[in-house]
Amino acid sequence: SPPPGEGGAAWRRRQTFYNARMTPFFISDLHLDPSRPAIPVLCLAFLQRDALQADALYILGDLFEAWIGDDTPSAAADAVADALHAVADAGVPVYFIRGNRDFLVGDDYARRAGFRILPDPSVIDLYGRPVLLQHGDLLCTDDVAYQQFRTQTRDPAFQAQFLAQPLAARIAFAQKARDASQARQSEMKQGDRAQFETVTDVAPADVEAAFIRYGVDTMIHGHTHRPAIHTIHAGGRECTRIVLGDWYEQGSVLRVTPQGWTLESLA
């Protein structure tokens, strides 16, 4: 009931605010890039306003469209780092899982942005229940060529050798990888559309296996750009797979309360 002497509306507002503060937020796939200048603006507004009402902020990968080393000069990446650090300084811990685009984000950028890098995948505790977090590309096992590329580029020796190259060489390599990926994607799209949809989505058998392997009944991931809340059966129980949306046309934020999930768009 409202505290004595307080009107209903004001108390309800405060109650709403209190509940909002108990809510972790999850975002992914912002794909920040100079080609979509509205998105960094939306991202900064989100960090300076909405994110301060969270009690934790989880970024599940592909914050950046490309990342070829923490030493790359980027005013946009600096601005995002400052805004993220301000969120952390305001008492909202920020966590980051690397995506397939920004898997080279390192400890230096993490320090500048004030976030903690979590392994992919990670299990966290949400209101007393274990929840599996990951970027999502690990679940797309039908794309065999991509999984081979992933294994190669996650090798610490490969990464050390890549990061030791001069910036110009890294830019050239990234451009080549991007062109090859786009060529392959458009080739697949022109072929069998249904097959393209299958190959670029999660493999159901791997989703089921992940629920069982990590002993969870809830997982949250991004990567596929197919925002949805799916209910499936795995290991004899009902499980929930929450897919975050991308930030190409609008923002996408998942808020979790003890009562449930809300997957919202930000205009």
Nearer to Mn ion, 223 or 255 (CB): 223
Instruction: State the Cα–Cα distance between residues 180 and 134, nearest whole angstrom.
Output: 25
To Mn ion, the closest distance from the beta carbon of 137 in angstroms equals 6
To Mn ion, the closest distance from the beta carbon of 218 in angstroms equals 20
Nearer to Mn ion, 129 or 184 (CB): 184
CA–centroid distance for 83 within its chain: 17
**Using CB under 5 A, which of 99, 121, 227, 251 touches Mn ion?**
99
Q: Residue 256's closest CA among 18, 5, 12, 19?
A: 19
Buried b (16+ CB within 10 A) or exposed e, 135-157: bbbbbbebbeebeeebeeeeeee
To Mn ion, the closest distance from the beta carbon of 148 in angstroms equals 16
Q: What is the SS3 assignment for 118? A: coil
Q: Residue 124's closest CA among 218, 35, 196?
A: 218
Nearer to Mn ion, 100 or 134 (CB): 100
Alpha-carbon Rg for the chain, nearest whole angstrom, is: 20
List binders of Mn ion among 60-79 (CB under 5 A). Answer: 62
List binders of Mn ion among 171-230 (CB under 5 A). Answer: 223
Instruction: State the Cα–Cα distance between residues 23 and 40, nearest whole angstrom.
Output: 23
HSE-CB for 132 with a 13 A CA cutoff: 25
List binders of Mn ion among 15-54 (CB under 5 A). Answer: none
Which of 31-39, 100-108, 163-171, 235-243 is the region at the interface with Mn ion (rule: CB under 5 A)?
A: 100-108
Which CA distances in Å does 71 have to 61, 110, 246? 19, 12, 26
**Using CB under 5 A, which of 32, 39, 100, 120 touches Mn ion?**
100
To Mn ion, the closest distance from the beta carbon of 97 in angstroms equals 11
To Mn ion, the closest distance from the beta carbon of 231 in angstroms equals 23
To Mn ion, the closest distance from the beta carbon of 105 in angstroms equals 13
Nearer to Mn ion, 62 or 70 (CB): 62
Which of 92-100, 123-131, 176-184, 257-265 is the region at the interface with Mn ion (rule: CB under 5 A)?
A: 92-100
Residues that bind Mn ion (CB under 5 A): 62, 99-100, 223
